[in-house]
Amino acid sequence: MSDMRLIVAGAGGRMGRALVKAIAETDGIALAGALEDARSPLIGQDAGTLAGLPANGFALGADAKPLLAKADAIVDFTAPQATVALAALAAEAGKIHIIGTTGLAAGDDAKIKDAARKAIIVKSGNMSLGVNLLAALAKRVAKTLDHDFDIEILEMHHNKKVDAPSGTALLLGRAAAEGRGVDLAQHSVRARDGHTGARRAGDIGFAALRGGSVVGEHSVIFAGPAERIELVHKADDRMIFARGALKAAVWARGQKPGLYSMADVLGLNDV
């Protein structure tokens, strides 16, 4: 089988550069284009050079449509507006779209779901293999423990992150809620300040910390009477997300159009 040809969206950003580097290091995958916002001062620069590699001849551009015609998939860790637009283009071209973008609103998710009628979309709040295993464990533990155990999710990221709770924290929250058989939207507590009163039984709490250059740390805490269980994942390098995204792209090759998750990629849906 020929090399899988991938476009990197947001190729000038932290994750974009990591993806370009990961593609260069992975057999069976080749870079097919590099995208960036049309307003970016990086437009026209070489994607390889930006990623700390030798120049690869792929200059950052802003027009996805002609690139998609010659590619198998687009890998996208950008921003909600850009991701929704790229999903529509992937649907139009019948291509694979790997989405690691966070901060998506319900309306954005609906548009992505609609695009998945014609595109093969793998979407996850975190592409790390370890985090997705953590989510499966959180679901299992939540299902096993009774409501005497309160569930709290703590996350910390670098000081440039613009959304909170993180997409990963929400991924973990949804997994815990599924394990409990409840709707996260109805049981989610995103902030506590002032005189809040006692904790409501059944709530799933979130706390977000921001500072320094932390790539990502997440804990799912099950706090019961006289004992506590903590599931923890710490990311030291963005390359773990890039490698997970490439694994998702390879898995998606040959799949039918639809909306998939990393649980599908890793075979974790039955955990």
What is the set of active-site residues? 157, 161
The whole-angstrom distance between residue 159's C-alpha and the CA centroid of its chain comes to 18
Strand partners, 30: 5
> Considering Cα of 166, then 172, then 176, then 179, what sign does the dihedral take?
positive
Residue showing tokens 């792209």: 249
Compute CA distances 76 → 40, 63, 203, 253, whole Å.
16, 14, 32, 16
